[in-house]
């Protein structure tokens, strides 16, 4: 009976057994791998955006400025702004995922509950960000669908 009470006490105190630790460490490894791939992808997208901006500036400089060219340059600037905004939006969930993986790994390896708690806090932030972002995107899809349904009904 004493061992049963001790097992219950350990579970209430938040102790993790070896199997749970192994699962968390493996999950954290994959989370870190995916976050590093995410950072590499962001870097490649930034590089492509920079090359596109430089190539666009070179093409515009080679031609005479006119209203058409100015409009093209303006729309290119707006496109660049949106591309940078999307890159910034993608940065945060990747960052939270990396911090979660790092905190969970350090917390389990060092037996540090603060690092483990920080890792899970970052994991919560990652999923919260993804959830809110998903709600926004689905809402936009619904609004676009309703708009097109109204346009088609008006014809």
Helix ranges restricted to H, the chain: 2-12, 18-62, 67-110, 113-153
9 confidence band (pLDDT: 50, 70, 90): very low
pLDDT at 6: 47
Give residues with Cβ within 8 angstroms of 66, minimum separation 6.
none
118 confidence band (pLDDT: 50, 70, 90): very high
Higher pLDDT, 37 or 5: 37
**pTM of the full structure:** 0.74
37 confidence band (pLDDT: 50, 70, 90): very high
18 confidence band (pLDDT: 50, 70, 90): confident
pLDDT at 2: 47
Instruction: Please give the Cα distance from 128 to 122 (Å, whole number).
Output: 10
pLDDT at 54: 79
Residue 127, number of CB atoms within 10 A of its CB: 14
Instruction: Please give the Cα distance from 106 to 28 (Å, whole number).
Output: 10
Q: What is the pLDDT of residues 65-91, one digit of tens each?
A: 554 455 555 556 787 888 899 999 999
Q: What is the pLDDT of residues 43-66, one digit of tens each?
A: 999 999 888 877 766 555 555 555
Indicate whether 129 pLDDT > 60.
Answer: yes
Q: What is the pLDDT of residues 103-116, one digit of tens each?
A: 999 999 999 999 99
């Amino acid at each position: 009976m004493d061992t049963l009470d001790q097992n219950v006490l350990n579970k209430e105190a938040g102790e993790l057994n070896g199997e749970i630790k192994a699962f968390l460490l493996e999950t954290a490894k994959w989370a870190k791998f995916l976050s590093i791939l995410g950072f590499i992808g962001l870097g490649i997208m930034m590089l492509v955006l920079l090359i596109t901006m430089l190539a666009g500036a070179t093409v515009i400089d080679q031609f005479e400025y006119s209203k058409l060219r100015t409009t093209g340059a303006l729309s290119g600037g707006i496109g660049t702004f949106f591309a940078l905004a999307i890159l910034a939006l993608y940065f945060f969930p990747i960052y939270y995922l990396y911090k979660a993986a790092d905190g969970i790994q350090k917390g389990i390896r060092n037996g540090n509950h603060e690092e483990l708690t920080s890792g899970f806090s970052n994991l919560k932030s990652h999923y919260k960000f993804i959830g809110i972002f998903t709600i926004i995107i689905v809402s936009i899809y619904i609004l676009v669908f309703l708009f097109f349904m109204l346009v088609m009904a008006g014809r």
